[in-house]
Structure 1
Amino acid sequence: MSQDQFSKSEPLPPNPAAIARLLQRTGRRLPQNAAEPALAIFGQFLGNDAAPARPVFPKFNRKETRHKITAILLQLCLEHPEWSCNRLTQELRDRNVIISANSVYAILVEHQLSTKRERLAKLQEKLAEDSPDLTPLQIALLEKMNIWFKERNFRGVRPGEVLAQDTAYVGNFKNLGEIHLQAVIDTYSSYAFGLLNPDNRAEHSVAILHNQVLPFFRRLHLPVALIDTDKGREYSGKEDHLYGMYLKLCAIEQRRTGSKQFPPHSFIRRFQTIAISEFFEKIDRAGFVSVAQLQSEFNDWLYRYNHIYPFQGYPNMGRSPVALIQKHLEGRAAHAAAPDRP
């Protein structure tokens, strides 16, 4: 084609397919009475006065939509704590919620729910608030993560109602020989009592109850109802066994653990593990000349354990044992001071 022919050529007719694609891409509509479709469309871009006005679309409230998506996402990640961000994204798409995996992760990080451990910790907070809406899957995951939650049915509903008692060997000291720890734990608050002895006779298991445990709860007007023990010789025997007779005298029920129906209490096991790792393995075992001196040092550590030590997760939820007991006492006092409702 020559240059003259090119300059004299007629303009190409408008392509209907190209116009349709342009309309779909830009979101514009073709006027019904448009004589020249191509000019009408391109006039919208070139500012032609003859072109129709652009239609007004309602504003998209992104903040409100993000709030709704976040609520759905948080509920979904707590219902299935083991799901990854990709799995959550796919599940949201099945519910007609389009969001990327990176956005899902950013939202979970913002609400501190990006990991499985953080989600299970949130479920434990719901449990502490007496929220009964836990699914069997959530309960199974919590029991696997926290053995204390697994034995929640053995926990008392108030301080002093259910105690756990056990004896543990803590080591051989140079000037003292073998030392055993007689420990009692309040299953409601994790408050601990400890008595160090050279052996594990029944006299020591009664002494810690008579001198430490019962006077403590008596001052708080909290009666002891039940004590969980194992089947050791310091806790069980014939009818005239010292420990059993003392509990009968104090009207306290004894429940022997170690069977399928009553497994060993993890409350007492955890305290023994903490005491051995954080106290007995860090002290100079050759620097004590008497059990009374060692007991005095252990009492100082036990005070910090009961008043400062924060227990993460169920049942203390970051509070110390004393703080949990104090909260119960304040609730009881407030309930007693409230006027009777008709």
Structure 2
Amino acid sequence: MPHTAPLLELDAYLTLNRASLGEWLAAIREISGCEDMACRLHRGGGPVGALSALESDQGFIVCIYASQGMDMTGCRTAAPVLLMPLAGGAEIARQGGCWQPLAKLTVARPEDRFHLRLPEFSRVMILRPRTDILGSLATPDADRLISACHELIDCYLRRSLFFRDHNHARQMTSELFCQLGRISRDESIPTCDCSGLDRRLLRALEQIRRDPDWDFNLKELASHAGVSERNLYYLMKREAGITPYRLYQRNRLTRVRYQLVDCQCTVPHISRYAADAGFSHLGRFAALYREHFGELPSETTQWRRNLLRVESEQAEDPLAIS
């Protein structure tokens, strides 16, 4: 079976893919810290979805992809969180009330004990600050501030395509939460500076991402982007802070991560996956992997195996309703 991942924001931090219901529930509970969260599928069994997650000093971001329809209930938070619909018409219910469309960036407070209804192929982003920085966003007259936050998060997601490494990703994520806090306090509304990301950069990224078998060739990449080799190098360094080869290397590492996340075997084939992506020296590959994702390849596979063990231990859990 090919190792593929759905279109999902922060895909370089894919944590779970093609999850069973038990794995999904164990992962969501661990990430949210809510042990009584439950999940009910709208129909049948099979893979439930995928998750990407990125943690920083200031907060935690989780992107959810539902490969089939589901209701997630018992979502209790210690502090307000932001829910951002990305695709697919998700709905929210608060305090046991009626379902309403999750049509825009929304603040969910601890007392809401909200439920989420995710249709098939829907995507939702959850932003969980470490401290309560979102209080004023929950007021009825906060539409202007919410709109500014939405624009800021959109900008962050566009920039995430060009994260240089794990430290840069954490730094940008912490900065996002700090900016959200300033907006919430109505101290300032930062100006988004990436609405016009150069199309030549995006064309180069498209070339790098679309073909797993493509070997790096700066001349060919520059031709696809529509600039000279020299101009592409300096354009990417100036606009994204990353070289063309570094971007290519990060995307190769991300493809290996997809395979490791999918791996459910007792002994993961890390060396084979690395070699298939062009990394011939396993020690160097492991160091690069940790530099880009903040963990070793073995830690990525161990997290999935831990979920499988939890699923086995909780096979009779009445909250995991299929």
Is TM > 0.5 for Structure 1 vs Structure 2? no
Q: TM-score range by the shorter chain?
A: under 0.3
What TM-score comes out, normalization by structure 1 length? 0.23
For CA contacts below 8 A with separation 6 or more, give which structure has more relative contact order: 2
Larger radius of gyration: 1
Structure with the higher fraction of residues in helix conformation: 1
What TM-score comes out, normalization by structure 2 length? 0.24
